Structure 1
Amino acid sequence: MPRMPHPHALVRTIGRPRTAHLARTARTPRLGSVLLCVLTALVALVATTQPASAAAGRPYTNPLKSAKGADPWLQYHDGNYYLITTTFTGILGIRKSPTLAGLAGAPNVQVWSDTTSTRNTNIWAPELHLFNGHWYLYYSAGQSGVACCDSQRTHVLESAGTDPLGPYTYKGSLTGSNLSPGGWLIDATVLEAKGGLYLVGSGSVNGSAQSLVIAPMSNPYTLASSSFTVISSPTLSWETSGAPVNEGPEPLHHDGRTFLTYSASYCQTPDYKLGQLELTGSDPLSRASWTKKQTPVFQRSDTNGVYGPGHNGFFTSPDGTENWIVYHANSSSGGGCGNGRTTRAQKFTWNTDGTPNFGTPVALGASLPGPSGETAATPTSYTLVNRNSGKCLDLAGGSSADGTNVFQWTCTGGTNQKWRIEDQGDDTSRLVNVATGGVLDAADCSTADGADLRQWSWLNNKCQRYRLVFTATGDYVRIVNENSGKVADVADCGTADGTDVRQWSWLSNTCQQWRLVPTT
């Protein structure tokens, strides 16, 4: 049976108390003046020793991702949130937005596609980690043509630079000689602790139940030992609903302490939930160094209609003052392990004993204050700017008629140049013109070079579905028609207003690259 994964990121909290000092006077004033001064000073002291209260971010509503929203990993980096989730295919896509709310409508940009048969299906639990100026993308994947899911293994990609969108190259597989069957390992994350780097994932050692396992790393893509150690097994009653499972480990650091959350029980049940370990010893490779909390830390809420919350990750608000958890959950008790799971996020706090307090999963649909420190507006649509000409993908005259031509034009900010990029839940999107509601369409479903791109009513076919494939840093993508495999191309690399946009075979030139620019 498939075991579902979980995403995570290190959280660092920033305490911000300030100390006020009472002013001292050289003389002895009258009693009334003394009392007034003391009262004023005490008020000032109370006010200034309270933690600074940052303004809430832009309002958001869960879910953040309703299509393919399982096993979410959410990273805030350099002014933007990046969200990546399980796809169940051989493709990995990332959403990017300056606000948490904007992720719900952000384009899904394909950053990796694999045709190698041993690892090109059932991609689960992707995570992004930044080390030494490169992003490392860890994920589980299986073998094409093999029944799910004994062929799942952990793989790692490396970015060329500091852009989380890539481009990426494949670095290798991470597995252990003592994992069964045959090196099975899923839900891997990277733990930094006690001056070392460790890979923590979910697997079985010597026939154990599906457990949390750990091995040392010599660098972000190489294990220092092929032998894994079990640090947690599903032995408590709440870890065995449906099947005994510990998976989806995720590190959380706070005030010099290291915690590791994990998902327990079988994802097919509504009782999939989070447990917690704490590193209380000196050796992360030793099971004795980890102390397990005997009760779950995050679980279903029938009152709020949330079932099977798990496979979590962590992130901080843009100003660094708030801690947030991202996770997937179902909206019915029979939701199971598939694509019905949606991505959700909420703020969490800390108990007086220094442990995290994740609270109760919030209901869908309520407007909530976003992470503090967000300053950008939430995007509602996007313009597509050609890299060669600097001009925008435009709908001629803003006409709503089927067959209206699509060409390039100087960017004006008009709604006929704004497009909603709507995820179709199959690694493709449709491009909906804001002015008309019509979609980008390849004329007559042609597969020929030069076939016209136009507007048409939504027919729900592959000729109207596109993959946005990351091409170059700067948010440049190629717009690939799902039916023909050909890309949106400015005819003859023209730079004039009105130059036609058509489909053409990929030539790897700037006339076929489009920048995604968020608009409101």
Structure 2
Amino acid sequence: MFRPLAITLCLLASVSAVEKTFLNPISEGADPWVTKNGKQYVWCHSEGNRGIALWVSDRLTSMGQKHVIWTAPESGPYAKEVWAPEIHLLDGKWHVYFAASDGKNANHLAYVLTSRDADPLGPYTVHGPFATGDGKDGKSPNIWAIDMTVLEVSGKRYAIWSGWDAPGTDKQFLYIAPMKSPTELSGPRVLLAKNDDYLWERTEEKQESRGLAEGPEVLQNGGRTFVTYSTAASWLPTYKLGMLELTGKDPLDPKSWTKRPEPVFRGTDETYGIGHSCFVKSADDREWWHVYHAKRDKGTGWRRAIFVQPFTFGADGLPDFGKPVAPGTPLPFPSGESSPTPKLPVSADFTQGHPKGFSYYGHLQFVAFEKDGMHLGTVPEKPVNDYRSGEKLVLDGGEFTDFEATATLRFVKGDRDAGLLFRVTQPSVGFDAQSGYFAGLIPRDKMLVLGKMDGKGWKEIGRAPVELPAEATHQLGVIARGPVIKVTLGGKEVLTVRDESYPAGTVGLRVVDTHACFSKLEVKTVGGR
């Protein structure tokens, strides 16, 4: 048995309860794509290289709820390596362009999913591959292609993608072709631009290294058409954005495109390996926002996270992307967007799927909603570019001061922390990337721990020994009333602490290098509903 342990620690309040800003990165992931659908944002992501998921949100700063719309077959030409999907509403239906292969990169080609109707959540049918090769038919032979996007200008539609110049060369250039329909090209490909006009377009920014161009994305404003592209090495910090502008009348004529002589967006010492951008308006259409990924490590690799930040157009009509924001830097919400303000009581049953109003921060493959609840920190059999980051699911916009919160959980694999976040503000991707408190169970130490985070680090403020039988289901609770915080297990008080650092905030669930299943979260006023 355990006895309540009382600890007192008094600090000055340091955080406002009202969320007015957010922090980057907002998610794990690479090759981000987001578009507006009425008042909602629709994010499109590869589902572990084996499918495609849409995340639907009311806000640009949160990816919202996850919906898997397509799973690749077990075998075949588009069964593996599903890369860089992006969704477009064309001719009244949604079209998801993606690249896939049979498991060998050299066999990557471009495909498209088409929805049945105007519902982005499907169902979908698959079409392709597109004829992205040589010859009049584009298939003699068909040639490697990734990162396909759509350009609409002067009433006509074109596909732009990154492709090899010949089979097996591994040399990436930007190509363009006219479209007969959203699922078919109507003419041969045209080389849009060279990939090594400038030293900064080469992988290591050296004369002896090769040029590389990929991730084309369209940006149109004030009657002008731009195409940004990612260049240099995606696996190195040298990755950056170049830009072309359509200055002629015919998009199929390479002479109609003018390349900017300098990068339009490049990394800093804090945010590097940036690329594969897309561009979207704020909720009220008053602001432009830049969405891109950045590397997590300065070494070789593809572990990345997603950033969003505003940009403007200069007096010359050119986009001014500025510099990539440093992780953890507060930014105002996009114009017209505000953090929601949920009211108590809150009850979330995770056995029914991903509830609306909760945002996930962590590796996209490390969360799953099953019949028995939300599996947080679950590691798939074959993870893609994985990393741990204190995976968490957080209720959007809560500003709770005095409340009771209870989480029902069990440990599946691992013996580190799993438990409740509370009085939390400004959550982001990272172990301690939030301000607020965490009460967690640690099977390894048979301990309950309480601590606080300031967005950069962790400080323990109390712990107590507890019994944690293997495979048992636990009810972990927090009762917060002013500066007094009580932590309960199975309804019995275990730990009491006095701390004034964080007077209010939202609630959530979090794991630390552990896989736990959460079936329920309930939050109510102290002593009431």
Larger deviation: 151-160 or 225-234?
225-234
Tell me which residue corresponds to 1:117: 76
1:298 paired to 2:265: yes
Checking the alignment, whether the CA contact within 8 Å between 1:421 and 1:429 is kept in structure 2 is: no
Distance change (3 Å), C-alpha of 1:439 and 1:137:
closer
Q: How many residues align?
A: 358
Tell me which residue corresponds to 1:98: 58
1:163 paired to 2:119: yes
Distance change (3 Å), C-alpha of 1:382 and 1:291:
farther
1:239 paired to 2:239: no
CA distance in 2, matches of 1:380, 1:124: 40
Tell me which residue corresponds to 2:491: none
- What value does the CA root-mean-square deviation take over the aligned residues? 3.7
Checking the alignment, whether the CA contact within 8 Å between 2:27 and 2:361 is kept in structure 1 is: no
CA distance in 1, matches of 2:115, 2:228: 27
CA distance in 1, matches of 2:344, 2:369: 12
Checking the alignment, whether the CA contact within 8 Å between 1:280 and 1:290 is kept in structure 2 is: yes
Q: TM-score under structure 2 normalisation? A: 0.61
Tell me which residue corresponds to 1:154: 110
Checking the alignment, whether the CA contact within 8 Å between 1:107 and 1:423 is kept in structure 2 is: no
Q: Structure 1: where are the runs of 5+ without partners?
A: 1-56, 385-391, 395-405, 442-453, 465-518
Checking the alignment, whether the CA contact within 8 Å between 1:99 and 1:377 is kept in structure 2 is: no
Tell me which residue corresponds to 2:185: 223
Larger Cα Rg: Structure 1 or Structure 2?
1
CA distance in 2, matches of 1:250, 1:159: 22
Distance change (3 Å), C-alpha of 1:335 and 1:319:
farther
Q: Structure 2: where are the runs of 5+ without partners?
A: 1-18, 205-209, 379-407, 419-522, 525-529
Percent same amino acid among aligned pairs?
A: 35
1:267 paired to 2:234: yes
Checking the alignment, whether the CA contact within 8 Å between 1:98 and 1:378 is kept in structure 2 is: no
CA distance in 2, matches of 1:335, 1:380: 46
Tell me which residue corresponds to 1:312: 277
**AA aligned opposite 2:313:** W
Distance change (3 Å), C-alpha of 1:191 and 1:58:
farther
Tell me which residue corresponds to 2:413: 459
| Equivalent in 81, 90, 107 of residue 41 of structure 2 | 81
| Equivalent in 243, 254, 258 of residue 287 of structure 1 | 254
Q: Deviations over 1:250-309 (max 9, x none)?
A: 11111111111001112111111000000001110011000000000000111xx11110
Q: Secondary structure at the match of 2:62?
A: helix
Q: Secondary structure at the match of 2:274?
A: strand
Distance change (3 Å), C-alpha of 1:353 and 1:420:
closer
Q: TM-score under structure 1 normalisation? A: 0.62
CA distance in 2, matches of 1:169, 1:382: 41
How much does 1:114 deviate? Answer: 1.3
Q: Deviations over 1:368-420 (max 9, x none)?
A: 11211125617899999xxxxxxx848xxxxxxxxxxx799xxxx9xxx9987
Checking the alignment, whether the CA contact within 8 Å between 1:128 and 1:138 is kept in structure 2 is: yes
Distance change (3 Å), C-alpha of 1:274 and 1:382:
farther
| Bigger helix fraction | 1
CA distance in 1, matches of 2:352, 2:180: 52
CA distance in 1, matches of 2:272, 2:152: 31
**AA aligned opposite 1:288:** K
Q: Secondary structure at the match of 1:177?
A: coil
How much does 1:225 deviate? Answer: 1.4
Q: Secondary structure at the match of 1:102?
A: coil
**AA aligned opposite 1:308:** G
CA distance in 2, matches of 1:261, 1:175: 23
CA distance in 2, matches of 1:164, 1:72: 17
1:108 paired to 2:66: yes
CA distance in 2, matches of 1:440, 1:266: 30
Tell me which residue corresponds to 2:312: 349
Q: Secondary structure at the match of 1:263?
A: strand
How much does 1:87 deviate? Answer: 4.2
Distance change (3 Å), C-alpha of 1:76 and 1:382:
farther
**AA aligned opposite 2:280:** F
